Each structure stands twice: as structure tokens, then as C-alpha cells.
């Protein structure tokens, strides 16, 4: 056991660490609350859960997550490599289009494709009515394990793509150009240089994908796949057993913490130290005519499937249902969605930066574990996390009851848990991982030397942060903010339960229809969500380009 000597503590303990310590503790409470579910004695339902659900459902979950991660890594990395290292027709458009699927919530995509490919869907209706073909239904059945992997992969691969591309664009040039100079075959360069070099970025993206899949309920429920999350909800909604549901979530959470530790441990010696000097961007090689056309075609197919086709289908449905669905309340919903997302993103990024900074200056197992725990919110189903958040806020409210009374708000009042604060807090806990990963990667990239130089030249930590580090990691902060924004705009289970009275967002509206199988009616709110995502992706691209120049 290694303990810090007192003198060292005094030296290391500064405002940053204290603030992030307090923040971490608060933010950890809901996750810890769920983990404590593991401690109690299992009740009489547990035997049934263990016998009929636990193992089977966990296996299905792993298959789904494993399959999706495999496909997204292959697709994401290859596309990232292709668009950074080569030039081919439509490259600029495609490198932008590959980010767009992030704007589409996977469960909306699942409903859209499920409906499109169904017997009455546009695809089969066209074949039947226009072409006169009768088709075998089996070929159109997307509602299966394979189908779910396809849906998740189409709409989650951008995580891997985006993070890997950002990394390759900025940091791989010298390695790759050396490899090229040394006459390496492009394929062998890809496997021997690009892959090992970008493994950190790939793992970062892949873990976001795995989290999304593991905590999903919408897609697997609609497709009839029994995942671990299904087990949690069957226990809660079918057997009315919240305690066992929390226990299952605790199990899921510890499984994921285990994966984290294993990943760290496996990669402990394989860290690549990148040159910190601003490396020149990679020079793109022109692909020949045939390979260029092939690359463009494959890229177009992926872009069509993962964005343009579902959006076109939703647009058709939106036209059908426009009269029934559209009303002035949508403006309010758009306002609500934007407001709560913007506030949550701003706070989230502040927390992410503080946490990343503290973790960097005060390297210890404690900060490592707590920064990982802070990211835990991303791994468990939102509905369960919402119970953790609710528990924390209700207990704060009860403790503050005296204060509320003194303020003249009335006795027995719930103030915090009836306000947006609870929802914003929940968003931060849930999506901190997204912001934190991006900022942490940014810090990794600049290394310690700028900060050290600044400190030696007399700036304090805070001044160093604002004057030296922040300008350097601005891009990373922006990436994190955009990704978090995209997530929050689409977020559903937390918003559903934790919002104040009458606070409708676009996502809750889309859910209202989709949950009642009125997928056509859900098209309008879904399209607005997608447009917001689209605008933020454009903004991000534009700022990125401006930043370069």
C-alpha cells in the first residue's frame, strides 16, 4: 500500500483537487446507491431471476455488444483511415456524412427500419404493388439479433469513426509517412502502424458503443431480443421488484468496471508516446480510378443506409401526419430541448475538464478509479440511473426541508427534485463519460510539458489552465461538447421521469408516439431532433475547419 506523505499532500492538495473531490462525491452518489444494491440479501425472486434470466440474457447482451463493437470498429476504423489517408471522389462530403448518424436515436432508427422493411413498409409495398413480386418474408426480417447488430452498427459506428479520424488527422502523419517512405505496403501499414497507433482512440470509441448497446432498451424491446437490460425491466415492470432490478443494474455496472480495469491492465505497457510538437497533417494519397470509385460507392452506401434513407422515410411519414401532429407546442418543445441541453452541456464540460485536470495532476489510483466511476452513469440503463438520482435528490430535499420552510416555501416541500436541476444533474452523470473521454484524450495529446513549462515560469495551476491548457485543448472540449449535446438531445428515460411538470422535450414527444406503435406520428419530433443534431454537426465541422486556418 502506498500512502502519500503529509508534505506531499499539502503540495498536491489544491483547489482543483478539492473541487473535483466534492464534485466526484456528489456525482458518485447515484452510482454508489445502485452498487449498494449488491450488498443486501437477495429476496425470494432472485432464485427465479438467476435460473431463468441471468445467464441467458447476459449471453445475448454480450453477443449483441460484441457483434456491434466488432462491426463498428471495422467500419469506423476503415472509414476513418480511408478519409484521412486517401483522396477519392466525394471524400469531403462523405467524411462529413459519416458523422450524421449520431443525430438519429437508435430506437427511432429501429422503428423506422422495422416499419420500412415490414410487409406494409415502403420497400415491400413497392416490390409487391409496382413490380408485382411476391417476396419471402424471411429476407426482410430485421427484427432479430443480426438485425439489431446491423441497426446499432449503422447508427453507432460514427463514435469510432469520429474519434479515430480526429486522432489520425492530428497525430499519425510522421509515423505513417515514415512507413510509406520505408516502402511498406498500404495494407501492412494499416495493420502494423495505423491500428497499433490508434488503439487508444479505437478503444475509446468502442467503449462508448459498448455502453450504448448495453444500456439500450428501446431497440432490443422492439426487436424482441432478451438482453440484460430486458432482465432488469422484466424484474421491475413484470415482477414489481425494484430492489432486484437495482441489484441487476449493480451487477451490470460492476461487470463494466471490471472490463475497464481489464482493458487498462492489458494495455498498461502498450502506450505510445506521441511527439507533442504540432505535427503536420497527413498528406492524402490519391486513389486510382477504380479503387477510388469503389471507395466512393461503398461510402455512399453506408451514408445512405445510416442517414439519408431513414431520414427520407421519416420525411414521407411527416408529410402524412403533419396535420394531425403539428401544433404550436412544438416550438416550446424545441425551446425546452435546446435550453436544457445547452445548460447541461455547459456544466458537463466544466465538470469534465476539472475531472480530467485533477486526474492528470494528481495521478493516483484514487483519482483513476473515481474518474472511471464518474463515467459509470453511461453504462447503466437510464431508467435505473433515474432511480438513483431520485433517491439522492429526495434525500437532499428532505434534509433541506427546514431551510425551505424558513424561506417561506411551505412545509414538506420538494424543491430540488421538482426542478430542472435534478434533470440537468442526471444528464451530467449520464453523459460525463462522453465529455471526459474527449477532454482526457485532448490532455493526453498535449502531454505535460506545456503545463510544466508554464508552472515553472511562475503561473499557478489555474492560470496555467486558462492561459495555456485551455487554448490547446479547445478542440477536444468542443468535440466533447458536441457529442454530449447530441446525446442529451436524444436522451429519453431520464428526461421522461426526472423532468418537472409539463416539461416536454422532442425526445419525449417522439417516444409518446413510438411507444404506442404510432411510428408515422413520431416522424415529426424525430426529424426535428435529427435536424438539431445535423446543425450541431455542421457547426462542429465549420469550427474545426476555421480552427485549422
- Report 111-170 residues binding other proteins (CB under 8 A): 114, 118-121, 125, 137, 141, 143-144
Residue 519 CB, nearest distance to other proteins (Å)? 9
Q: Given the complex with other proteins, which of 167 and 425 has the nearer CB atom?
A: 425
Nearer to other proteins, 497 or 543 (CB): 497
Instruction: Tell me: does residue 372 bind other proteins (CB under 8 A).
Output: no
Is the CB of 95 or the CB of 386 nearer to other proteins? Answer: 386
Angle, CA of 441, 66 and 477, to the nearest 5°: 20
Q: Per rule CB under 8 A, is residue 40 in the interface with other proteins?
A: no
Is residue 233 part of the contact set for other proteins (CB under 8 A)?
Answer: yes
| Contact call for residues 385 and 430 (beta carbons, < 8 A) | yes
Phi, psi of 407 (to 5 degrees): -80, 0
Residue 520 contacts residue 317 (beta carbons within 8 Å): yes
3-class state of residue 503 by DSSP: coil
> Residue 36 interacts with other proteins (CB under 8 A)?
no
- Identify the CA nearest to 341 among candidates 183, 494, 456: 494
Instruction: Please tell me whether residue 53 binds other proteins under the rule CB under 8 A.
Output: yes
Using CB under 8 A, pick the residue from 22, 25, 43, 52 that binds other proteins: 52
Least distance to other proteins from the beta carbon of 10, Å? 16
The answer to whether 32 contacts other proteins (rule: CB under 8 A) is no
How far apart CA 292 and CA 298 sit, in angstroms, is: 10
b/e sequence 163-174, b meaning 16+ C-beta within 10 Å: bbbbbbbbbbbe
Pattern 11-30, other proteins, x by CB under 8 A? ----x---x-----------
Nearest to 73 by CA among 194, 227, 219, 218: 194
- Rounded to an integer, what distance in angstroms lies between the CA atom of residue 84 and that of residue 98? 13
236 binding other proteins? (CB under 8 A): yes
- Residue 326 binding other proteins, by CB under 8 A: no
CB of 223 to other proteins, least distance (A): 6
Q: Which stretch binds other proteins (CB under 8 A): 217-225, 281-289, 429-437, 482-490?
A: 217-225
Go through the chain and tell me how many residues it has.
Answer: 549
Question: What is the C-alpha R_g of the chain?
Answer: 24
Q: Which of 200, 493 has the CB closer to other proteins?
A: 493
Distance of closest approach, residue 168 Cβ to other proteins, in angstroms: 34
The string of DSSP codes covering 263-290 is HHHHTTT-------S-PPPPPPEEPPHH
Is residue 390 close enough to count as binding other proteins by CB under 8 A?
A: yes
DSSP class of residue 14 equals -
| Window 463 to 502, contacts with other proteins (CB under 8 A) | 463, 466, 496-497, 499-502
Asked if 42 interacts with other proteins (CB under 8 A), we say no
Window contacting other proteins (CB under 8 A); options: 169-177, 203-211, 408-416, 529-537: 408-416
In what helix (H) or strand (E) does residue 86 lie, and over which residues does it extend?
strand 86-87
Amino acid at each position: 500500500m502506498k500512502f502519500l506523505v503529509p508534505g506531499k499532500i499539502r503540495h498536491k492538495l489544491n483547489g482543483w483537487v478539492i473541487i473535483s473531490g466534492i464534485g466526484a462525491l456528489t456525482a458518485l452518489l447515484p452510482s454508489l446507491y445502485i452498487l449498494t444494491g449488491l450488498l443486501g440479501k437477495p429476496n425470494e425472486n432472485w432464485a427465479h431471476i438467476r435460473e431463468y434470466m441471468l445467464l441467458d440474457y447476459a449471453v445475448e447482451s454480450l453477443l449483441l455488444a460484441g457483434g456491434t463493437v466488432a462491426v463498428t470498429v471495422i467500419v469506423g476504423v476503415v472509414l476513418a483511415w480511408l478519409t484521412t489517408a486517401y483522396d477519392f471522389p466525394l471524400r469531403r462530403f462523405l467524411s462529413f456524412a459519416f458523422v450524421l448518424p449520431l443525430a438519429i436515436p437508435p430506437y427511432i432508427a429501429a422503428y423506422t427500419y422495422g416499419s420500412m422493411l415490414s410487409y406494409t413498409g415502403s420497400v415491400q409495398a413497392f416490390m409487391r404493388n409496382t413490380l408485382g413480386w411476391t417476396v419471402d418474408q424471411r429476407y426482410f426480417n430485421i427484427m432479430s439479433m443480426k438485425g439489431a447488430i446491423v441497426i446499432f452498427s449503422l447508427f453507432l459506428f460514427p463514435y469510432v469513426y469520429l474519434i479515430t479520424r480526429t486522432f489520425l488527422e492530428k497525430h499519425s502523419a510522421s509515423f505513417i509517412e515514415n512507413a510509406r517512405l520505408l516502402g511498406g505496403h498500404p495494407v501492412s501499414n494499416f495493420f502494423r502502424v495505423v491500428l497499433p497507433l490508434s488503439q487508444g482512440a479505437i478503444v475509446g470509441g468502442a467503449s462508448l458503443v459498448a455502453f450504448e448497446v448495453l444500456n439500450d432498451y428501446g431497440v432490443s424491446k422492439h426487436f424482441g431480443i432478451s438482453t440484460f437490460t430486458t432482465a432488469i425491466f422484466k424484474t421491475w415492470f413484470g415482477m414489481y421488484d425494484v430492489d432486484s432490478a437495482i441489484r441487476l443494474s449493480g451487477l451490470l455496472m460492476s461487470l463494466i468496471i471490471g472490463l475497464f480495469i481489464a482493458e487498462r491492465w492489458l494495455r498498461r505497457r502498450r502506450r505510445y508516446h506521441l511527439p507533442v510538437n504540432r505535427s503536420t497533417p497527413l498528406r492524402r494519397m490519391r486513389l486510382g480510378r477504380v479503387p477510388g470509385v469503389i471507395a466512393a460507392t461503398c461510402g455512399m452506401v453506408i451514408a445512405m443506409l445510416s442517414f439519408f434513407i431513414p431520414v427520407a422515410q421519416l420525411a414521407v411519414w411527416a408529410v402524412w401526419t403533419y396535420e394531425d401532429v403539428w401544433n404550436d407546442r412544438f416550438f416550446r418543445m424545441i425551446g425546452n430541448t435546446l435550453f436544457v441541453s445547452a445548460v447541461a452541456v455547459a456544466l458537463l464540460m466544466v465538470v469534465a475538464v476539472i475531472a480530467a485536470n485533477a486526474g492528470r495532476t494528481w495521478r493516483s489510483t484514487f483519482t483513476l478509479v473515481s474518474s472511471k466511476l464518474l463515467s459509470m452513469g453511461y453504462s447503466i440503463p437510464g431508467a435505473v440511473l433515474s432511480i438513483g438520482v431520485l433517491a439522492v435528490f429526495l434525500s437532499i430535499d428532505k434534509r433541506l426541508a427546514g431551510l425551505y420552510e424558513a424561506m417561506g416555501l411551505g412545509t414538506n416541500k420538494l424543491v430540488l427534485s421538482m426542478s430542472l436541476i435534478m434533470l440537468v444533474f442526471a444528464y451530467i452523470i449520464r453523459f460525463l463519460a462522453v465529455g471526459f473521454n474527449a477532454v482526457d484524450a485532448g490532455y493526453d495529446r498535449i502531454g505535460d510539458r506545456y503545463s510544466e513549462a508554464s508552472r515553472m515560469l511562475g503561473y499557478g495551476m489555474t492560470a496555467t489552465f486558462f492561459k495555456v491548457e485551455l487554448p490547446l485543448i479547445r478542440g477536444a472540449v468542443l468535440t466533447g461538447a458536441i457529442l454530449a449535446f447530441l446525446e442529451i438531445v436524444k436522451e429519453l428515460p431520464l428526461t421522461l421521469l426526472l423532468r418537472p411538470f409539463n416539461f416536454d422535450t422532442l425526445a419525449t414527444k417522439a417516444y409518446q408516439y413510438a411507444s404506442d406503435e404510432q411510428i408515422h406520428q413520431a416522424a415529426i419530433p424525430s426529424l426535428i431532433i435529427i435536424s438539431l443534431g445535423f446543425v450541431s454537426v455542421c457547426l462542429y465541422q465549420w469550427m474545426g475547419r476555421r480552427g485549422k486556418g
